[in-house]
Amino acid sequence: MLLAVAAGILGLLIGSFLNVVIHRVPLGESVVHPPSRCPGCGTELATRDNVPVLSWVLLRGRCRTCGEPISPRYPLVELGTAVLFAVVAVWCGLNWALPAYLYLAGISVALSAIDLDVRRLPDKIVLPSYVVALVLLLLPAVAEGRGDAYLRAALTGVGLFAFYFLLALIYPAGMGFGDVKLSGVLGIYLGWYSWGLAILATFVAFLLGAVVGVAVMVRTKEGRRTKVPFGPFMLVGTFLALFFGQRVIDWYVAGIGL
């Protein structure tokens, strides 16, 4: 419980920073300068007005200076990151792999929001994540003597990247290259535990994407021309596979008598 609370508090703080990332990275702006400002009047936010969730509630969702409404997405991102951090901490436990999976949780929130906003998965987040994932997973590989898991993670990342790359070549209209680049990162995290989780996560992502895609096409006038970003489904599929996948795989194997 203490670990979950600590991770949740960390998630609130990270979520506040992710709001900056979500807004500025697609615009090509720095995430560290200038300090956060009101989008309406441009006033720099005071520290008391930049406390995750609490400031938004106390200000009733408006800028202290000009009264401009502040999107409820800001506290939702902060709360969502806090909840995801807490869940990841409980699932992973206090071990050397936890920092790696908290990092995955953080970029997942940012990438999902950006992909929904601009239909793009920025290289500035995705490409450095290869290095970060491999470095952070090197900690448990060395400290816990899990070189086999580290090798499997790297190979799974390569394999999942190759699979998505092939799909993009076969049907470029249905698969963006941003999705391809993200797949390798997710493969590393999934492969740390097993090859099977990567397969399951991919299946879940395409299943969710198909269901939501059909629903959106039915409800909109554009029909088949409607484009639904696939990145969020890849990320949801990854976390569902990480949290529940091994149970599903064990149940399936037992059911077919292997």
- CA Rg, the chain, in Å? 20
pLDDT tens-digit profile, the chain (258 residues): 899 999 999 999 999 999 999 999 999 999 988 888 777 777 777 777 788 898 888 888 888 888 788 889 999 999 999 999 999 999 999 999 999 999 999 999 999 999 999 999 999 999 999 999 999 999 999 999 999 999 999 999 999 999 999 999 998 877 889 999 999 999 999 999 999 999 999 999 999 999 998 888 777 765 556 678 999 999 999 999 999 998 887 787 777 655
User: Distance between CA atoms of 85 and 245, rounded to whole angstroms?
Assistant: 19
Q: Could you say which DSSP state residue 44 is in?
A: B
The CA–CA distances, whole Å, from 253 to 193, 200, 222 equal: 17, 13, 42
Domain boundaries, the chain: 1-94, 96-258
Helix locations, the chain, DSSP H: 2-24, 54-58, 73-92, 98-118, 123-143, 147-170, 177-191, 195-219, 231-255
User: Distance between CA atoms of 226 and 75, rounded to whole angstroms?
Assistant: 29
Q: 66: which 2 tokens? A: 């000009």
- Pair 111, 126: CB distance under 8 Å: yes
Q: pTM of the predicted model, to two decimals?
A: 0.92
- What pLDDT is stored for residue 80 in this prediction? 97
Dihedral angle of Cα 232, 237, 243, 248, to the nearest 10 degrees: 160
Q: 109: which 2 tokens? A: 């929130």
